[in-house]
Amino acid sequence: MICRITGVLTDVSPATAVVETHGIAYEVFMPAVSLRSLPPRIGEELTLHTIQHIDGNPAYGGMSFRLLGFLSPDDRAFFEELTRVKGLGARKALRAIDQPPARIAVAIEAGDEKFLASLPEIGKRTAAQIVTDLRGEVTRFAIIADGVAATEAIPARKLTDAQNVAAQILVAWGDRPADAEALVRRVVSENAELDEPDAIVRVAYRMKQRA
């Protein structure tokens, strides 16, 4: 099992990157959001966290092995979560990651089916299935945006653990830390029974839409 490759990035196409190491060139299928960042790095050393995937149906022959690559272990783990969704296989899940995983995770936790349906390979029905299968399961991906943990920007001591996680998700969504904390406080002041991050985020998202 090849789980990581480090080598020189030699080529980038709309669907793949080529990494050469010790005289062997590996063609690696990657999410579009990652591939868009790679052209300036051609000629540089690159590490990809990989999954070996068997493509095709053994009953009909024509099977092939594909190497799927990700820029970080978190990106790979998020992809693996997506493949758990009913009806969303590895090929569709890879194509669907057209936006940063943190952005997609925030949409899942917020139940934003409209955004999810706008992703490649994801229609309305699949978007609803993603929310059903993964809401509450991808919070850890939602609290990291642009490689910076949102906890660095939010004073956790002022909120309960659940409220702090909800605020972190809102920061990953694009809110300023102070605005996120204020919105969370408003949500729990009007809905004292809410004690789970995903429930707080759903109400906060509805409030933002009405504003």
What is the enclosing helix (H) or strand (E) of 11?
strand 4-12
137 contacts 160 by C-beta, under 8 angstroms: no
38 contacts 83 by C-beta, under 8 angstroms: no
Q: Which residues pair with 64 in a beta bridge?
A: 55
Residue 2 confidence class, pLDDT cut points 50, 70, 90 = confident
Residue 149 confidence class, pLDDT cut points 50, 70, 90 = very low
| The pLDDT of residue 58 | 61
**Where along the chain do its domains lie?**
1-71, 143-210
Q: Rounded to the nearest 5°, which phi and psi values hold at 69?
A: -125, 150
Name residues whose C-beta falls within 8 Å of residue 99's C-beta, 6 or more positions apart in sequence: 33, 119
Q: Which residue from 92, 102, 94 is spatially nearest to 122, judged by alpha carbons? A: 92
| The pLDDT of residue 133 | 94
Class in CATH terms, 1-71: mainly beta
Q: Which residues pair with 113 in a beta bridge?
A: none
pLDDT tens-place string over residues 186-197: 898 888 888 888
- For residue 138 the two structure tokens come to 């991808």
| The pLDDT of residue 81 | 95
- For residue 15 the two structure tokens come to 């669907």
Name residues whose C-beta falls within 8 Å of residue 110's C-beta, 6 or more positions apart in sequence: 169, 173, 201, 202, 205
How large a percentage of the chain has pLDDT more than 70? 88
103 contacts 194 by C-beta, under 8 angstroms: no
> Which ranges of the chain does DSSP label H, i.e. alpha helix?
32-35, 73-82, 90-96, 101-110, 113-117, 124-134, 139-142, 161-173, 177-190, 197-210
Pairwise CA distance, residues 60 & 70, whole Å: 30
